[in-house]
A = this chain, B = another copy of it.
Amino acid sequence: MDLTDKQQEVLMFIRKKVREGLPPTIREIAAEFSFSSTGTVRDYLKALFRKGYILLNEKKSRAIELTEKAMLTIPILGSVPAGVPVLAVENVEDYFNVDKLFSQKEELFFLRVRGDSMIGAGIMPDDLVLVKKQPCAQSEDIVVCRIDDEVTVKILRNREGRLFLEPANKNYSIIPLNENSQIVGKVITAIRRYV
């Protein structure tokens, strides 16, 4: 039930166009592969739909939607037992869906972390944290907040009914959430890039 080489090529073309921001029309796909009939393209689209790689929105132009299956994925290796090559299929624990993580349906931004106040949680200076903008969060969430006109990363914690912004470093102090300390968003991912 996998894709043929040709179907793979067509899917790759669609993916490229979708990532560029404008899904192709049937005739643009036909032109790319020198098909002289729109019917040929429809055969491909139907095949890709049947195999679960795309969704088709009827009567709408350029309305080809990629499913998760068709998105860019990188394998995640879990435990690697003795004697087996590292990249063997058996080691694949899951797939990391890049498009899904960075899909911009929500208001996201990165914040470069200053200082070492979250070092106990493995968030180091100069790390990037991906932040979903939202005005509130739950206890134990890692949040980006503004405290007296300074933006920092902290842990939101409920202590006997009162909310506090706590660092993960004992050299810094715990601050109550009040009118001078406001939540900007929730940290959903931390990323550190090496050279």
Q: What is the interface of chain A, defined by CB distance below 8 A to chain B?
A: 18-23, 25, 57, 60-63, 65-66, 72, 74-83, 86-87, 93, 96, 98-99, 101-105, 107-112, 114, 119, 122-124, 127-128, 130, 133, 141-142, 144, 146, 149-151, 184, 186-194
Contacts and interface: CB of A to CB of B under 8 A. Distances in A.
A75 B74 CA distance: 23
Nearest to A92: B109
A151 B81 CA distance: 8
A144 B80 CA distance: 12
Given A22-B65, A74-B110, A79-B114, 16 more contacts: A20-B105, A22-B23, A72-B102, A74-B108, A76-B128, A77-B109, A80-B146, A81-B149, A87-B133, A93-B112, A96-B128, A122-B123, A122-B127, A142-B194, A189-B193, A190-B192
Nearest to A133: B87
A96 B103 CA distance: 13
Nearest to A184: B86
Contacts of A142: 194
Given A19-B103, A62-B61, A146-B86, A112 B190 contact: no
Contacts of A193: 101, 188-189
Contact of A76 (B25, B109, B150): B109
Closest 9 CB pairs of A and B: A82-B149, A80-B151, A76-B110, A122-B124, A19-B104, A190-B192, A61-B61, A122-B122, A77-B111
Contacts of A63: 22
Contacts of A108: 74
Residue with the greatest number of chain B CB neighbours at <10 A, chosen from A20, A104, A114, A146: A104
A189 B22 CA distance: 26
A43 to B, nearest CB: 22
